[in-house]
Amino acid sequence: MKRRAFFNRTLSITLALSALPFGKVFGKTEKKDVGISRRELGKTGEQLSIIGFGGIMLNNQEQTFANDLVAKSYDSGINYYDVAPTYGNAEEKLGPALEPYREKCFLACKTTERKSEGAKKELHQSLKNLKTDHFDLYQLHALSSVEDVETAFGPGGAMELFLKAKQEGKVRFLGFSAHSEEAALLAMSKFDFDTVLYPINYVCWFQGNFGPGVVRMAKEKGMGILALKGLAHRPIPQGMEKPYERLWYIPIEDEEIQDLSLRFTLSQGVTAAIPPGDPQFFPNALNIARGPVAISSAELKKIESLASGVNPLFSA
C-alpha cells in the first residue's frame, strides 16, 4: 500500500474508531477467519491472546473512547492488557474501561522505579488507578543498562518490593521489559522471572542481531516471551517531526509488510505481541491475528531481504 493510500485508510479508521460502533473496522479480514488464538505464557499456566492491548492507546483519549475500544477488543477475543504509569493518563482511562471484564482478563503493569520505596508508591497508585486489588503481571519497566539491573537487585532495590508484593497477593507473576540485550540477559541470570517483554522485530533481528540472544535464553528458562515493536520499521531521521504522536519511531505502513512483520514476530516463540501505541494500527493487527499466523520459509527469506539496508531501532 502506498503512503498516501495508507494515510487515507488510517484516517478513515481513526474516524470510525472515534464515531463508534466499530463495525467493519474490527470485522474486516481478507483471510480465512480462524479467530484470535491464545498461547501458553511460559510456565504460568495462563493463556493469552496472541495480540495484546497496549494501554498507551488510551492516553489523552475521552473515557467513552476508552470504554468502547476496550469493550470491542474484549469482544474480539483480547484478554491481555498492558499499561504503565509512564503512559500519561492511560491507567486512569483503562481502569474504568476494563473494570467490567477484569476477572476474565490478564492485566500487566510496570514500574520504572528501581528502588523499593518508589516502586511501592507506583504499585499502589497503579492498583488504585486501574480499580483492581492485584496485577496478573508486574514488571520492571524499560531496563536499559547494567546499572538499572544492579540497582533493582541491590539493597533497597525494587526487587524487594516485587517479592513482597507477590507474597501479599498484590501481584501474581513477575517480569521485566528491556531495550538492552546486556540488561535483559543480566536480569534473567539474576532471577527466575516469569516473563520478558522485549522488542522482537524483523529489522532489529536481521540488521542488528537484536533479539535472538534474549529469545534463546528465555526459551531455555521456560519464560513467557511477550513482544514489543513487531510493527516498527526504523528510527525517525534527525530533524524530522514525529509522524505519530504516541510513537517515537517510524512504524510499518504497508499492509503487506505489516502482515509479514507481525507474523515473523509471532513465529519466534512469542506468546503475544503488543501493536504500536497509536490506535489506528490496532485494527489491522487484529485482522492479521485472525488469520493463520505461521510464516513460510519463502516468507522468511522475503522479510530478511526487506530488512536489508534498513537502520534498526536496536542493535545487540
Residue 4 domain-assigned (yes or no): no
pLDDT at site 11: 40
pLDDT at site 4: 44
pLDDT at site 31: 54
Q: Which of 97, 104, 91, 52 is nearest to 70 (CA)?
A: 97
All three cell numbers of 230: 513487531
Residue 3 domain-assigned (yes or no): no
pLDDT at site 301: 98
Residue 109 domain-assigned (yes or no): yes
Measured on CA atoms in the order 225, 228, 229, 230, is the torsion positive or negative? positive
List average pLDDT for each run of 10 residues in the chain, which is 316 residues long.
44 42 44 80 98 98 98 97 98 98 98 98 98 98 98 98 98 98 98 98 98 98 98 97 94 97 98 97 96 96 98 97
User: Does residue 21 have a cis bond before it (omega within 30 degrees)?
Assistant: yes
pLDDT at site 46: 98
Q: Indicate which CATH number applies to the domain containing 83.
A: 3.20.20.100
Distance between CA atoms of residues 23 and 17, nearest Å:
9
Q: Which amino acid is at 233?
A: H
Domain enclosing residue 173, as ranges: 36-307
Residue 213 domain-assigned (yes or no): yes
**Cβ-proximal residues to 248 (8 Å cutoff; 6+ apart), any chain:** 236, 242
Our measurement of the distance from residue 162's CA atom to the centroid of its chain's CA atoms, rounded to an integer in Å, reads: 21
All three cell numbers of 9: 485508510
How many C-beta atoms surround the C-beta of residue 19 within 10 A? 11
Q: Which of 98, 106, 46, 45 is nearest to 79 (CA)?
A: 106
| pTM of the full structure | 0.91
pLDDT at site 20: 37
Distance between CA atoms of residues 55 and 280, nearest Å:
14
Distance between CA atoms of residues 274 and 52, nearest Å:
5
Distance between CA atoms of residues 118 and 95, nearest Å:
21
Over its C-alpha atoms, the chain yields an Rg (Å, rounded) of: 19
Q: How many domains does the chain have?
A: 1
User: Does residue 155 have a cis bond before it (omega within 30 degrees)?
Assistant: no
Residue 188 domain-assigned (yes or no): yes
Residue 237 domain-assigned (yes or no): yes
Residue 280 domain-assigned (yes or no): yes
All three cell numbers of 119: 516502586
